[in-house]
Amino acid sequence: MLTTLLSGDFPRSRALSVLLLLVLVGLALAPFLVHGARALNVAATICIFVVLVASYDLQLGYTGIVSFAHTMFYGIGAYGVGIALHAMGPGWGPVALGTAAALAISLVLALVIGLFSLRVRAIFYAMITLAVAAAFAVLASQLSDITGGEDGRSFKVPEILQPSFRLMDGEILGRAIDGRVVTYYLVFASALALFLLMLRIVNSPFGRVLQAIRENDFRAEALGYRTVVYRTLANCLGALVATLAGVLMALWLRYVGPKTTLSFEVMTDILLMVVIGGMGTLYGAVVGSALFILAQNYLQALMGQASEALSGVPFLSQLFHPDRWLLWLGVLFVLSVYFFPTGIVGKLRAGALARSQKSP
C-alpha cells in the first residue's frame, strides 16, 4: 500500500522519513494542534506551496527547465476562480467553471511557450518566460474592470467553505468544525493528492526520460527521444499543477490580487524553497516549503524574544532586532546552501547512502 502511494520512491533516509512524517502529521492535525487564524493560515500556505514548489521542481529539478513564468500559471488559477465567483456568486458551478477555464488558458499558454521557446538555450528561454510573466502581471493590473486592478478581487466562496458554516454541533478537541476547517481539509487533501500524483509522474518511464534529458539532452536525442516534446509536456504538466495550486490559494484566501500570486517575490520564494529542500527530489518541496514559510512567519517573533533577552548587551540586542529578520533569513539561506549544496533532502539521502555502504 505504502509502496503504491509513494510510487516506490521512499525517502531512503531515517532522518528524512521522520522529518516528512512530522510535517505530514503536523499538517493533518493542524486545526486541532494549533489555535488561532494565523497558525492555520501558515499550515494552509505550506500545503499550497508544497504543490507549487513541487510543480516547479518537476520542471527545474527533473527536466532542467529554468522558467520564471511559474507564478503566471499560479495567478491564472487564482484569478480564474476569483473572477468566476465574483461575477456569478458563491457556488460550486463557478468554482468548476473558473478552474476549467484557468486550466485551459494555462495549457494553451504553456504549450505555446514550450513549442516556441524550448528550442532556444536555457538562458534565453528563462528571459522569454520572465518577459511573458511580467507582461501578464501588467495586464492583470490594468484590466481593473475584470481583475480589480492592483486592489484585486474579494469574493464569496460556497456556503460549506464560509467561516459561519457549522458542519456539526459541538467541538472536537476544542475546535469547532466550521467552514474554515472544512476549507483547510479541502486544501490539505487536494495538496496531498496532487503531490502523490507528481511523485507517480517522476517515477514513471516518462519521468526517467525527463531526468535523462536533464543530464544530457544530446544523448537523449540520440537515443530517439524527442526532447522538445518531452520538455513541452513537462512544461504543460508543471503549469497545470501550478494552476490548481492557485485555485486552492484563492479558495483559502477568498481574495485574489497581483501581489499574492503574480509578484516576482513569489517566484523568488519558490526558487529558494526548491534550493533549500533539494532539486530533483520532490520531497524537497515538502521540507523547503515547511521550513521557509515557518521562518517567514515566525522568525521575526523569535528575534523579538531574543532581542529582549539580550537587552543588556547593546550590540547583540540591536543585531537581533525584529526589523532585521530579513537579514537573518538571508543568512540562514546562505548557510543552508553552504552546508547543504544539494539541498536538505539530497544531503540526508547522501549521508544515509554513505552509512549503508560503510556498514558490513
Rounded distance, CA 312 to CA 306, Å? 11
* Interval 129-157 mean pLDDT: 88
Higher pLDDT, 48 or 350: 48
Confidence of residue 122 (pLDDT cuts 50, 70, 90): low
C-alpha cell at 49: 506551496
Q: Is the pLDDT of residue 213 over 80?
A: yes
Rounded distance, CA 238 to CA 59, Å? 6
Confidence of residue 121 (pLDDT cuts 50, 70, 90): low
Looking at every residue in the chain, the average pLDDT score rounds to 87
Poorest-pLDDT segment among 62-71, 124-133, 298-307, 308-317: 308-317
How confident is the model at residue 288, as a pLDDT? 92
Rounded distance, CA 259 to CA 263, Å? 5
Rounded distance, CA 68 to CA 131, Å? 9
The C-alpha torsion from 91 through 92 and 96 to 102, rounded to 10°, is 50
Rounded distance, CA 221 to CA 227, Å? 6
Of the CA atoms within 13 Å of residue 95, those in its CB half-sphere come to 18
Poorest-pLDDT segment among 15-29, 124-138, 309-323: 309-323
Q: Is the pLDDT of residue 171 over 90?
A: no
Longest Cα–Cα distance in the chain: 69
Confidence of residue 61 (pLDDT cuts 50, 70, 90): confident
The C-alpha torsion from 210 through 231 and 274 to 339, rounded to 10°, is 50
Confidence of residue 154 (pLDDT cuts 50, 70, 90): very high
Contact between 44 and 187 (Cβ < 8 Å):
yes
Rounded distance, CA 139 to CA 199, Å? 34
Q: Is the pLDDT of residue 119 over 70?
A: no
Q: Is the pLDDT of residue 249 over 70?
A: yes
How confident is the model at residue 77, as a pLDDT? 95
How confident is the model at residue 264, as a pLDDT? 86
% of the chain exceeding 70 in pLDDT: 97
Contact between 59 and 129 (Cβ < 8 Å):
no
Give the E-state strand segments of the chain in sequence order: 153-154, 166-172, 175-178, 255-256
Rounded distance, CA 202 to CA 233, Å? 12
Give the pLDDT confidence of 1-17 residue by residue, as tens digits. Answer: 677 777 777 888 888 99
- 2-358: CATH number: 1.10.3470
C-alpha cell at 73: 500559471
* Interval 118-144 mean pLDDT: 82
DSSP state of 90: S
Q: Where are the domains of the chain?
A: 2-358
Nearest residue to 244 (alpha-carbon basis) of 207, 197, 294, 276: 197
Contact between 94 and 85 (Cβ < 8 Å):
yes
Cα 38 to chain center, whole Å?
19
Q: Residue 121 CB: number of other CB atoms within 10 A? A: 8
Q: Residue 20 CB: number of other CB atoms within 10 A? A: 17
Q: What is the DSSP string of 158-205?
A: PGGGSTT-EEEEEEETTEEEEHHHHHHHHHHHHHHHHHHHHHHHHTSH
Q: Which residue has the cell 537579514?
A: 327
Q: Is the pLDDT of residue 177 over 90?
A: no
Nearest residue to 348 (alpha-carbon basis) of 15, 19, 23, 50: 15
Contact between 77 and 242 (Cβ < 8 Å):
yes
Rounded distance, CA 115 to CA 232, Å? 6
Q: Is the pLDDT of residue 124 over 90?
A: no
Higher pLDDT, 268 or 301: 268
Give the pLDDT confidence of 223-245 residue by residue, as tens digits. Answer: 888 888 888 899 899 999 999 99
